[in-house]
Amino acid sequence: MNGILLVNKEKGMTSHDVINKLRKILNTKKIGHCGTLDPMAEGLLVCLVGYATKINPYLNSATKVYDATFRLGVATTTQDLEGEVIETKEYQDDLTFDKLHQTIFSFIGPQKQTPSIYSAIKVNGKKLYEYARNNEEVIIPSRDILVEKIELRGIKDNDINIIVQCSSGTYIRTLCFDIAKKLNYPGVLTKLIRLNVDNFSLEDAYTLEEISKGNYHLLDISKGLNNFDVVELDNLLLKDIKNGKPLLINQERPFIIRINNENIALYDKSNDGYAKILRGLW
């Protein structure tokens, strides 16, 4: 059993919880995921089964799309509803649609983001939330992110709903907190749904219940490696490939080698004209 499995994660579960359940359902230990979702988040979790776990470093996951709702007037330690309330401000219903629209759109483009200390980013080998739990001081490094698009979906009372297309590594709860701050309010993320990871869509994902009933389909690894070509080779080269030998193949892009319709290895060209193995898929 090998391939990419798109899972519709429920709210309240960690990404690791999903993997543990999948290991029992599919009766295999070789399962991983890419792009962790917080417990309060829902939506698309890209899971890798069997030898597909080996392609994680090469997966296209640079762009993600989220449906996010945040509330003006409240701030927490974690920038979502999981944390303790640290600031409140009565909402005055003083925002015009134009002001809200302009403020949200001002966050489109490349920028620096400083995430909450309650995040899994590592500083000096330790996760930030570990510093928070131990009441230790730490300098939180800012990171480069790209917000490609923001769509204002609506506002109801002091809850604002947006669709965000952004680079991998963007903290949506921090983005919502920063938008609220620019609107002169504390802010907190109340709901988050991941809709897309590059060419993977939530519409094609399965719930754990569906998977437990056998209602699922594994995608070929090529679906997650669209910057790789596919090269079909003869079975006579299988031994050389498994021994990691370079191959004299003229390919400009990295490629997946298939033999008898089975994925065998990932290769890429080198400066000497030969293609060299990146990862064996066995």
| Mean pLDDT to the nearest integer, 50-64 | 90
List, for residues 136-182, the tens digit of each pLDDT value.
878 888 889 999 999 999 999 999 999 999 999 899 999 999 999 99
Largest CA distance in the chain: 74
Q: Do 128 and 49 share a domain, yes or no?
A: no
**Is there a single domain that holds both residue 85 and residue 44?**
no
Same domain, 120 and 179: yes
* Full residue range of the structural domain in which residue 252 is found: 229-280
For residues 149 and 129, state if they share a domain: yes
User: Would you say how long the chain is, in residues?
Assistant: 282
User: Count of domains in the chain?
Assistant: 3
Give the predicted TM-score (pTM) of the model: 0.90
Assess whether 141 and 233 both reside in one domain.
Answer: no
- Within this chain, do residues 111 and 204 fall inside the same structural domain, yes or no? no
Catalytic residue among 38, 67, 80, 198: 38
Q: What is the CATH number of the domain that holds 215?
A: 3.30.2350.10
Cβ 40 vs Cβ 78: under 8 Å: no
Q: Are residues 75 and 167 in the same domain?
A: yes
Same domain, 136 and 68: yes
Question: By 3-state DSSP, what share of the chain in percent is helix, strand and coil, each rounded to 5?
Answer: 25, 40, 40
- Residue 213: count other Cβ atoms within 10 Å of its Cβ: 11
86 and 173, same domain (yes or no): yes
The string of pLDDT tens digits covering residues 92-129 is 988 888 889 999 999 999 999 998 887 777 888 777 87
In this structure, the answer to whether residues 234 and 271 fall within a common structural domain is: yes
| Whether 234 is catalytic | no
Q: Which pLDDT belongs to residue 277? A: 94
User: Do 197 and 44 contact (CB within 8 A), yes or no?
Assistant: yes
CA nearest neighbour of 117 among 89, 93, 86: 86
Are residues 56 and 68 both part of a single domain?
no
Whether residue 165 is found in the same domain as residue 193: yes
pLDDT for 115: 83
Cβ-based burial of 248 (10 A; exposed 0-12, middle 13-18, buried ≥19): exposed
What local confidence, expressed as pLDDT, does residue 268 receive?
Answer: 93
Distance separating alpha carbons of residues 138 and 119, to the nearest angstrom: 13
